Structure 1
């Protein structure tokens, strides 16, 4: 089975030696999506907007691979502070409204660019 590199200008470019996503067969594995506006490279300054931007970026990467958020089967949410969980969860619920994917939420010491959140996913096509 061949692996296909997924790249879209609709989401921020990778900030290191990795791909936005990899597609193997009918499975898409995304890299963590930071809350960076692709047009400006800037980040919002609150957890609600950072969550929204991360999920919009995730959506664009998943769509570039030929899937949709409805086909996401697993997400991992990395938070810089678990006290942001409720606010993140509220915004997350705007993107995943039913048939929810499995999810892990993990507090980490620090994220790239000092983001408050990073979200990765696995999707089926």
Structure 2
């Protein structure tokens, strides 16, 4: 098992790793829609979904993978009413690639975010 570290991967704020690799499989911690440079959180679910997915992609690239290598995604949303809008942005991001996916409605997420995305992927 190896912890994946890279200057382009923001340091975690708690007792966890952003990405762990084991036997060529990458396990990414949940990514919130926080801009890693400005720490801003967009307002709309569409913008938040886009930022969270870009954060996932940054970690995947730095770990030697890509969005096309994602096996499974777990998406936590603050309301089931957000599902359709999240699905629209998600489908644009992944294009023809369709990882296994679970969407879990929750009551609330950290920092008042509307979404958190966690993935498992294969390393090239």
Normalising to structure 1: TM-score of the pair? 0.93
**Counterparts of 1:86 and 1:34 in 2: how far apart (Å)?**
19
CA RMSD between the two structures: 1.1
The answer to whether the Cα contact below 8 Å between 2:31 and 2:117 also exists between their aligned partners in 1 is: yes
Q: Find runs of 4+ consecutive structure 1 residues off by over 4 angstroms.
A: none
The answer to whether the Cα contact below 8 Å between 1:12 and 1:37 also exists between their aligned partners in 2 is: no
**Counterparts of 2:112 and 2:9 in 1: how far apart (Å)?**
18
Among residues 72, 79, 87, which one is paired with 1:74 in the alignment?
A: 72
- Please, which runs of 5 or more residues in structure 2 have no aligned partner? none
Normalising to structure 2: TM-score of the pair? 0.94
The answer to whether the Cα contact below 8 Å between 2:32 and 2:52 also exists between their aligned partners in 1 is: yes
**Residues 15-46 of structure 1: per-residue CA shift (max 9 Å, x gap):** 21111110011100000000000001110011
The answer to whether the Cα contact below 8 Å between 1:75 and 1:102 also exists between their aligned partners in 2 is: yes
How many residues are paired up? 123
Report the 3-state secondary structure (helix = DSSP H, G, I; strand = E; otherwise coil) of the residue aligned with 1:103: strand
The answer to whether the Cα contact below 8 Å between 1:72 and 1:124 also exists between their aligned partners in 2 is: yes
Report the 3-state secondary structure (helix = DSSP H, G, I; strand = E; otherwise coil) of the residue aligned with 1:36: coil
Change (3 A) 1:90 1:11: farther
Moved more, 20-29 or 91-100: 91-100
